Chains A and B, each alone.
Chain A
Amino acid sequence: MTKYTDQGKNDTRSGFGAGMTELGRTNPNVVALCADLVGSLKIQTFIDENPERFFQIGIAEANMMGIAAGLTIGGKIPFTGTFANFSTGRVYDQIRQSIAYSDKNVKICASHAGITLGEDGATHQILEDIGLMKMLPGMTVINPCDFNQTKAATLAIAEHDGPVYLRFGRPKVANFTPADQKFEIGKALMLNEGTDVTIIATGHLVWQSLLAAENLENQGISAEVINIHTIKPLDDKAILDSVKKTGCVVTAEEHNFLGGLGESVSRVLATHYPTPQEFVATQDTFGESGTPEQLMDKYGLNNKAIEAAVLKVLKRK
């Protein structure tokens, strides 16, 4: 079993900011738009270095999505930035008509996803965004696991022609993937091979899954851990290859169990290889105020919850 090392906690939104800085220097077509949240999105360096390629839209997210769509008509690659809640639900119709249905090359970059935004509470959190975005035909949905992977994903989506939803977060989480990684959209990453159970995780719950796998190994349980950074298109083959070996699955995500990664995995299993599955996710609820750690504990989104789900699913094999 590979032992992964936390290279130092960092926020995934800063990974996005670092990616934007690099894109600003390497891709002249990349432009950035923001709805009054520059500090939260960590794009100040991009703005300082490319002021003509930054558009401060103000607190007007619908207008931001439309302007982004328009900028593609002229060959620009717009990256929009605001909180995940205001990047999706608030502007769903604008994204649907002007971006997805019109097949515009807009990158919707969403920070403060999930509940770990913390103290601001449910109005600023969102646990439905993956579902909203993955239901849109043609939309690519990406939820990277740490700082390095978020930076790599930011660079990769600039090269992809078509609308993308890129989801990241506020709290500092373990940074454990290589700094020089190549990000391949739609390609699941096998982090640890195992024989008893498959843990399929996305976002910062990938790290929690690795912690859970270590504890499970101490109990004599061999867990396979797969990092699904791209929820759509989903790497069906990687999932099926794994469950055919292990015979059961736990999915883990900071999202509602309705509409998220877990349901996407269920669709693959139900269609090709029916398999017992447990969901580590929120249970159709809104969030609340609290520290990220308190919220992950209360809503069952950490390594302890993943371990418990594994023990439960093993009994159903």
Chain B
Amino acid sequence: MPNAQELQDLVTQVRRDILRMVHKVNSGHPGGSLGCTEFFVALYNEIMELKDGFDMDGKDEDLFFLSNGHISPVFYSVLARRGYFPVEELNTFRLINSRLQGHPTTHEGLPGVRIASGSLGQGMSVAIGAALAKKLNGDNHLIYSLHGDGELQEGQNWEAIMYAAGNKVDNYIATIDLNGQQIDGSTDDVLPLGNVAEKFRVFGWDVLEIENGNDLKQVIEGLNEAKSRTGKGKPVCIIMTTMMGNGVDFMMHTHAWHGKAPNDEQLETALAQNPETVGDY
């Protein structure tokens, strides 16, 4: 298992990957990807129990489902750097004939991806189904998922939230990326979410919070705490506050970089703030 410095180096390298991928094709979603980098690096390199190789059924290992598929750059980078496919393949992001579609899919056979996402609000239902399959199979491994906060505006989430609590799906940890931003502005301006943690609680979930989801140590502690609360009759929810665009000063404190790529000059500035660590692809 990597040490703290190695993980932090990986975080920086993943940020570089995200910026370079999005810049190359002048499209994609850097803001949310940068905001969730610590979460993905921690999950795939510190928290989840993973088998070698990849099979769709994922028996006898932990599984992760990305519901807000537009943050595919961070997902692809972390999967590649975890060894699911060659890191060089990040060069093909969003290009014709690539396995790295704009939003993740199983359709092109990319190892590490078990469901398509992009049309929002469906990931929690899928994760619950996978958790139920684990129970049927007598497999004690866990299901993880990530959801954007704006995505909670989709009603299907609340069907799933009700189901998971009502049916004691307690081998499941859902994380909400609470960055307060969506395409058209702040979530408060577009459609206020209210107190998300309290909403999960009154629906019957065990809820914990990560105050700074861009602090690697806090993220790891929060995920480990969530793990310790599984198997107790309730699904577990992590409310993780992050900064969209984290690690690039001009991308922070705004929703402007939700779905916009940096130009050449902006890329250089952003990369200078995140110097190469384990090697560019």
Contacts and interface: CB of A to CB of B under 8 A. Distances in A.
A68 interface: yes
A57 B156 CA distance: 12
A101 B114 CA distance: 11
Nearest to B139: A74
Contacts of B56: 73
B124 interface: yes
A73 B133 contact: yes
A73 B132 contact: no
Interface string B122-158: 1111111111111011010000000000000001100
Contact of B156 (A66, A71, A103): A66
B136 A76 contact: yes
Interface stretch (A6-14, A17-25, A91-99, A142-150): A91-99
Contact of A93 (B119, B134, B160): B119
B160 A102 contact: no
Interface string A43-56: 00000000011010
A70 B57 contact: no
B128 A66 contact: yes
B59 interface: yes
Contacts of B63: 73
Nearest to A67: B129
Contact of B58 (A64, A73, A96, A98): A73
B115 A98 contact: yes
A107 to B, nearest CB: 14
Given A66-B129, A70-B128, A97 B118 contact: yes
A103 B106 contact: yes
A162 to B, nearest CB: 13
A60 B125 CA distance: 11
A98 B126 contact: yes
B117 interface: yes
Interface of A (DSSP majority class): helix
A67 B136 CA distance: 14
B136 A53 contact: yes
A272 B202 CA distance: 61
B125 A67 contact: yes
Contacts of B264: none
Contacts, number: 120
Given A97-B122, A103-B107, A69 B162 contact: no
Contacts of B116: 97-98, 101-102
Nearest to B127: A70
A71 B137 contact: no
A101 B124 contact: no
B163 interface: yes
Contacts of B107: 101-103
The range of chain A's interface size is 20 to 34
Nearest to B134: A74
Contacts of B57: 73-75
Contacts of B160: 63, 66-67
Contacts of A102: 105-107, 115-116
B221 interface: no
Contact of A69 (B115, B118, B136): B115
A52 B135 CA distance: 10
A16 B178 CA distance: 45
Contact of B129 (A52, A53, A69, A97): A69
Nearest to B105: A101
A60 B129 contact: no
Interface string A167-188: 0000000000000000000000
A31 interface: yes
A246 to B, nearest CB: 41
Contacts of A63: 125, 128, 156, 159-160, 163
A70 B163 contact: no
A89 interface: no
Given A63-B163, A75-B57, A75-B59, A70 B129 contact: yes
A71 B162 contact: no
B172 to A, nearest CB: 10
A33 B56 CA distance: 21
A98 B116 CA distance: 6
A97 B119 CA distance: 7
Contacts of B132: 55, 67, 70-71
A62 B136 contact: no
A261 interface: no
Interface in B183-224: none
21 contacts: A31-B136, A53-B136, A55-B132, A55-B167, A58-B162, A60-B159, A62-B122, A63-B125, A63-B159, A65-B125, A66-B128, A66-B156, A67-B125, A70-B115, A71-B129, A73-B56, A76-B136, A78-B129, A94-B156, A102-B107, A102-B115
Interface of B: 56-59, 63, 65, 105-107, 114-119, 121-134, 136-137, 139, 155-156, 159-160, 162-163, 166-167
Q: Which 4 A-B pairs have the closest CB atoms?
A: A70-B129, A66-B125, A74-B133, A60-B159
Interface of A: 31, 52-53, 55, 57-58, 60, 62-76, 78, 93-94, 96-98, 101-104
Given A60-B159, A69-B126, A71-B129, 17 more contacts: A58-B159, A60-B156, A62-B122, A62-B125, A66-B122, A70-B115, A70-B125, A70-B128, A71-B133, A72-B133, A73-B130, A74-B57, A74-B58, A74-B130, A74-B134, A74-B137, A98-B115
